[in-house]
Amino acid sequence: MRRMSNRAPLIWGIVLIVIGLVGMAALWALAPTALTPAGIGTFSSNGQLIYYTGGDASGSIPRSLGGSRMTGFGMMGNMACVVCHGEDGRGGRVGMMFGTVEIPDIRYSSLTSPRSEAGTTVPAWSESDIARAIRDGFEPNGQPLKAPMPMWDMTDAQLSAVIGYMKELDGQ
């Protein structure tokens, strides 16, 4: 009897460690699938690489949070376009730590056509309107884009690469 009860904490300790290891293994197995396009081990273009990882060969692209214009926003700083706008670029409602967020469709053809948003018609954007939204965080009418859309400190080459990928999303 005595021996049994002395062993109980040890057994529970082992059980907890096993649960922890299984949990970590599950997270580790899931994480790469969230960042890698289904079935593709490598990216087809620099634009796709940026869309899926938020960076390229030169490293992670610096960014700050739009709307409130604050920098250093912890976890949000690690998110790539795909996490919010989706693999197909269509956006939708995405659950985040501070509630549900409405994410716009950023396929090139959608942005460059007139569309209705919250009951009003948004005129077609030009390619430079799209670039300004991504880099400077402004809509063509001068309104700042709301959080959690980051402002991306991209070079012209990175901007045209990611916009090129948004054109590829048109087919999806």
Contacts of 69 by beta carbon, 8 Å cutoff, 6+ apart: 137, 144
Long-range contacts: 43-46, Cβ < 8 Å, 24+? Answer: 45/161, 45/164, 45/165, 45/168, 46/158, 46/161
Least Å distance, CB 1 to ligand HEC, is 57
Q: Which bin fits 60, alpha (ψ -120 to 50), beta or left (φ > 0)? A: beta
* Choices 15-23, 24-32, 35-43, 96-104 (CB under 6 A): range interacting with ligand HEC: 96-104
Confirm or reject binding of residue 79 to ligand HEC (CB under 6 A): yes
Site string (106-145) toward ligand HEC, x via CB under 6 A: x-----------------------x--xx----------x
- Pick between residue 26 and residue 124 the one whose CB is nearest to ligand HEC: 124
Token readout for 158 is: 């990175």
Cβ closer to ligand HEC: 12 or 153? 153
Q: Which stretch binds ligand HEC (CB under 6 A): 12-20, 22-30, 35-43, 79-87?
A: 79-87
Comparing CB distances to ligand HEC, the nearer of 48 and 103 is: 103
Any contact of residue 149 with ligand HEC (CB under 6 A)? Answer: yes
Spatial separation of the C-alpha atoms in residues 147 and 129, rounded to whole Å: 18
Burial class (CB in 10 A: 0-12, 13-18, 19+), 122: middle
146 binds ligand HEC (CB under 6 A): yes
Check binding of 81 to ligand HEC (CB under 6 A).
yes
C-alpha to C-alpha distances, 28 to 24, 95, 119, 126, nearest whole angstrom: 6, 21, 43, 41
CA atoms within 13 A on the CB side of 45: 16
Q: What residue ranges bind ligand HEC (CB under 6 A)?
A: 50, 76, 79, 81, 83-85, 101, 103-104, 106, 130, 133-134, 145-146, 148-150, 152, 162
